[in-house]
Amino acid sequence: MIELSGVFYSYDDEEVLRDINLTIREGERLVLLGINGSGKTTLLKILNALLFPQKGIYTYFGVRVEKGKLKDREFTKKFRKEVVLLFQNPDVMLFNPTVYDEMAFSLRQLGFGEREIRERVLYWADRFGLLPYLDRTPFRLSGGQKQKLCLACLLVLEPKVLLLDEPTANLDPKTTGWLVDFLYDLKVTTLVSTHNLSLAPELGDRLIVLGEDHTLIYDGRVEEFLKDEDKMLKAGLLHRHRHKHGDKEHSHYHLHDHL
């Protein structure tokens, strides 16, 4: 359904994506791993057509996604409904007076009737535990509740592709567990970025890894990558540290993993 072929992207002179080739089939659950600055957010923004490849091609169900194509209103409406992105900082997504309006916003934009909007909002608010807060201003929610609200705002659209940019970064372990289970049960194509190696196997079964050189250095099963020290070193996810224990110094590999 999604194909990137020879995609490059630079901000000014800084190349942040280099020759990315990627095919995603419907129903796949992908994890995107890479250290800070490797280009994860940029890649997700390209898939969400917020940025466009400067070289290379992005196609969605065989249709080339480029700036000019978004002038085609029929296509844009379909694309915006089907491919959605949860931002790394969800606060930037919230601007409506109430939780209800927030969840109804994009459905209204896309021309849904109030009755269907109400049905969808109530259904997803219930699944996300947001029913008690429908009249509250989104700013008076906790960080985790805001994150859930942002995700609910995307799911009311019943998308085909859900892109999530470090969704667990601000969640406590319990809410992280909830999200992992929730995503597991969701029958939608997902691509979740994280720099947390230990969460990767929980978030998907196919792993793609952006290296420090901004190329895709791995595309395969999560478990295989976790056995490949060379690849992990290349990704900057593993580091050799020296430690002193008493008067003995030794060095060993250390996972760069922060929960």
Residues that bind ligand ATP (rule: CB under 6 A) add up to a total of 13
Stretch that binds ligand ATP, among 30-38, 73-81, 199-207, 228-236 (CB under 6 A): 30-38
Residues 120-159 that bind ligand ATP (CB under 6 A): none
Question: Cβ closer to ligand ATP: 14 or 74?
Answer: 14
Instruction: State which of residues 30, 34, 83, 167 lies at the interface with ligand ATP (CB under 6 A).
Output: 34
Question: Cβ closer to ligand ATP: 39 or 159?
Answer: 39
Locate 132 and state its tokens. Answer: 């008690």
Give whole-number Cα distances, 204 to 7, 16, 20, 122, in Å: 23, 24, 20, 28
Instruction: State which of residues 41, 176, 194, 196 lies at the interface with Mg ion (CB under 5 A).
Output: 41
Closest CA to 187 of 222, 151, 159, 157: 159
Instruction: Quote the least distance from Cβ 18 to ligand ATP, whole Å.
Output: 12
Instruction: State which of residues 16, 94, 122, 134 lies at the interface with ligand ATP (CB under 6 A).
Output: 16
| Measured distance CA(159)–CA(142) in Å, rounded | 25
For residue 171, the 8-state DSSP code is: -
What type of residue is 256?
A: H
User: Within 13 Å of residue 215, how many CA atoms lie on the same side as its CB?
Assistant: 7
Question: Which listed option, ligand ATP, Mg ion, none, makes contact with residue 37 (CB within 5 to 8 Å by class)?
Answer: ligand ATP
74: helix, coil or strand? helix
Are 88 and 169 contacting, i.e. CB atoms less than 8 angstroms apart?
A: yes
Question: Cβ closer to Mg ion: 43 or 103?
Answer: 43
Instruction: Quote the least distance from Cβ 13 to Mg ion, whole Å.
Output: 20
Count of residues in the chain: 259
**Which residue shows structure tokens 């667990």?**
168
Closest CA to 252 of 234, 231, 229: 229
Question: Which listed option, ligand ATP, Mg ion, none, makes contact with residue 120 (CB within 5 to 8 Å by class)?
Answer: none
Stretch that binds ligand ATP, among 11-19, 60-68, 101-109, 229-237 (CB under 6 A): 11-19
User: Binding residues for Mg ion, per CB under 5 A?
Assistant: 40-41, 88
User: Binding residues for ligand ATP, per CB under 6 A?
Assistant: 11, 14, 16, 34, 36-42, 88, 195
